[in-house]
Amino acid sequence: MPLIWAAISAHGFGHAAQVVPVLNALGRLVHDLRVVLRTTVPASFFQSRLTIPWELSAAPQDIGCIQKGPLAIDIEATWREHHRFHLTWDDRMQAEVQALRAARPDMILADTPYLALAAGAKAAIPSVALVSLTWDLVLSEFPAPPDIDAQALIGSIRQAYAHADLALRITPAPKMDIFTHLIDIGPISEPASSVREQLARLFRLTPGERTVLIGFGGIPLASLPFEALTPLTGYRFLFDGPIPPNNTRFISTKSLPFSFKELLASVDIIMTKPGYSTLVEAVTLRVPLVYVRRYNFVDEQPLVDFLHRHGRGVELTQDEFAEGRWHAALEAAIALPMSPSPPPPTTGASDAAVLLTSFF
């Protein structure tokens, strides 16, 4: 039976959310396809999403960024962890090559670990990078500590990426120049069906009351400015973090019988950072989005540009977010008209699947 080795970054859930629709689409084209998920993303993420037979091979594939919550990157710690990762590069490579030779996959799909691409070249297994960013571009935004040779480290990452036989750049994404064979594909988005009516009944919403989903990706928020938000009436907030007792205007998403994707498709407003999966899904669903920027992450500007070109978006500064000054942004988001430029078709998963069939 054909086997694909999917190496997935575990920096949040965004990379896994891109890979799953591609694997599902490929499974509809390649009979009896199986997949090994080489990642530290928890198995629970894939259980209700991935429709082809899979097994998890848990192993760290890259560093990503060291976060202090979803909105702040510890830049020095990020550089130092990358430095440590590369100090053990030879051992990591040997382990990956041995694992690949034992599994004998037909191909490697990497989103976006470069270790798998380099190991694939050494094991003589064809590899494809599925990318909306690369880690060399991410690190290039950050000043390195003086005792780390940033140029050499980034050069090593770029050299590893260059081993890919093919790169599929997902719309939207920053410019990339490290791949010898790059093909642009459409956006990847796989929205769920709406449960809006069920939510309205469950919450007993009053006429004109709006629902707001607060979701900042796989790196959760620890808290919200609940006290400052007390005067903000007319909204019900769905939040995946801790909520003070007896607070009826904030609802824990963990207490609801709906998935996060179902909630995305059912609320009036989404509040988040500009991350690929949530932002592109909001544009696809035509749900207004209030976003909080970091201003130092490489794919953020292409995503924000995509949102304002095809969707409905309002920026909330980090200070406004932290201080609970949300009202103006929420009202502005609701008032935004539909974009005259409809979103491009979300063909990315099927585009990728068709291209990947040539490897089987």
CA distances to 11, 15, 42, 232 from 210, rounded to whole Å, are 31, 30, 32, 11
| pLDDT at residue 217, rounded to an integer | 84
* The dihedral formed by the CA atoms of 36, 39, 41 and 44, expressed in degrees to the nearest 10: 20
Q: Do domains 3-187+347-359 and 196-335 have the same CATH topology?
A: yes
Contacts of 264 (CB under 8 A, 6+ apart): 191, 192, 213, 215, 270, 278, 281, 282, 285, 287
The pLDDT assigned to 314 comes to 98
Write out the CATH class of domain 196-335: alpha beta
The DSSP 8-state label assigned to residue 247 in this structure reads: -
DSSP string computed for 65-130: --BSSTT-B-HHHHHHHHHHHHHTHHHHHHHHHHHHHHH--SEEEEES-HHHHHHHHHHT--EEEE
Q: Nearest Cα to 136, choosing from 200, 61, 74, 79? A: 79
Residue stretches of the chain with pLDDT short of 50: none
Q: What percent of the chain has pLDDT over 90?
A: 92
Structural domain boundaries of the chain?
A: 3-187+347-359, 196-335
Record the pTM.
Answer: 0.95
Is residue 260 within a helix (H) or strand (E), and if so which, with residue range?
Answer: helix 260-264
Residues 6+ apart with CB under 8 A from 162: 178, 179, 180
Tokens of 109: 């799909």
Least Cα distance to 12 among 55, 57, 52, 71 occurs for 71
User: What does the pLDDT read at residue 183?
Assistant: 98
What's the pLDDT score for residue 12?
Answer: 86
Task: Give the CATH class of 3-187+347-359.
Answer: alpha beta
The CA-based angle 351-355-360, given to 5 degrees, is 140
Q: Which of these, 250, 264, 271, lies nearest to 332 by C-alpha position?
A: 271
Residue 318's pLDDT is 97
pLDDT for 245: 87
Query: What does the pLDDT read at residue 290?
Result: 98
Q: Give the H/E segment covering residue 53.
A: none
